[in-house]
Structure 1
């Protein structure tokens, strides 16, 4: 899925990238656990999510080690990335309760719509699936990617 945040930022959960809408070629890549954590938060904006729920949904379901320390590291890495996108206060920790994603302007866009935008074709019916896929993969190769790991 592709999410537009505050009408300025694009999060592509399939590619695990975060970018300014006007500069998608300068996308920041997220590690798998950070991306899953972010997607869990972004699909529940304004909702208090317990640490146990976040560990279960973002880590345990994907065979990652679900511990409070790991979750705290991933939240810290996510905050670090979000600062680059002027979303310093997007993640609010409520002591002894959980975490809230404090952004209400989140729009979900279908993957096929993104592919059609990449082809630059105005009419949806003119783009073929293979053209959209090959163009999307060539755009991905051109993206400058930075990786964030738990050790940083």
Structure 2
């Protein structure tokens, strides 16, 4: 499922990806943490409803066997506000209801993926999983290590395997007979 916010911001809860189709830059594409993604999804699914802190804590953390506090919830709300503001939505998208909870404003237009197919909007944000990024980084580090080890070996001469051949000699000149091998042992 993909949510389109104000016809330009796309949010894919499955992997926490959020991007802006109208801007081509690194900042136009983010991957949210699982908790941030669940929180934004919960707010979107309940747009216009006042959600109590307990309801949010249960839906975002408790349902997944995790525990959280009001302070953590406030921090996540603050991060989502900042992120949505950076995408051009303003900090008042998520409103605080004093001593109660939060409300996702009805001033923004949100469309689920049912209308997405007919909207003519691109949905080509790269699907980059967190594990794929880690694997790519690990492979890069291995290649760099091997490159460094090769350069170091070539400069120091350590692990220089020799065939025992003299310059200009051919291989068959240095081959020992089986009798000579027995004497060497």
- Would the aligned equivalents of 1:56 and 1:66 in 2 still touch at CA under 8 Å? no
The residue number in structure 2 matching 1:90 is 93
Tell me: higher relative CO, structure 1 or 2? Use CA pairs within 8 A at least 6 residues apart: 1
For structure 1, the 5+ residue unaligned runs are: 120-135, 146-152
What is the alpha-carbon distance in structure 1 between the residues aligned to residue 50 and residue 89 of structure 2? Answer: 18
Number of matched residues?
121
Q: TM-score, normalised by structure 2?
A: 0.58
What is the alpha-carbon distance in structure 2 between the residues aligned to residue 35 and residue 23 of structure 1? Answer: 21
What is the alpha-carbon distance in structure 2 between the residues aligned to residue 49 and residue 96 of structure 1? Answer: 11
The residue number in structure 2 matching 1:21 is 21
| CA displacement 1:35-89 (0-9 Å, x = unmatched) | 1100000111111110110000011111222211111111111111111112221
Shift of 1:102: 0.4
For structure 2, the 5+ residue unaligned runs are: 134-185
The residue number in structure 1 matching 2:170 is none
The answer to whether 1:140 aligns with 2:127 is yes
Indicate the structure with greater strand content: 1
Shift of 1:118: 5.8
What is the alpha-carbon distance in structure 1 between the residues aligned to residue 34 and residue 24 of structure 2? Answer: 19
What is the alpha-carbon distance in structure 2 between the residues aligned to residue 19 and residue 140 of structure 1? Answer: 11
Shift of 1:140: 2.4
Q: Give the CA RMSD over aligned residues.
A: 2.6
Give the number of the structure whose alpha-carbon radius of gyration is greater. Answer: 2
The residue number in structure 1 matching 2:150 is none
Q: TM-score, normalised by structure 1?
A: 0.70
Give 1:1-150 correspondences, 5 Å limit: 1-23=1-23, 26-88=28-90, 89-103=92-106, 104-109=108-113, 139-141=126-128
Shift of 1:22: 2.9
| CA displacement 1:85-110 (0-9 Å, x = unmatched) | 12221100010111000044110005
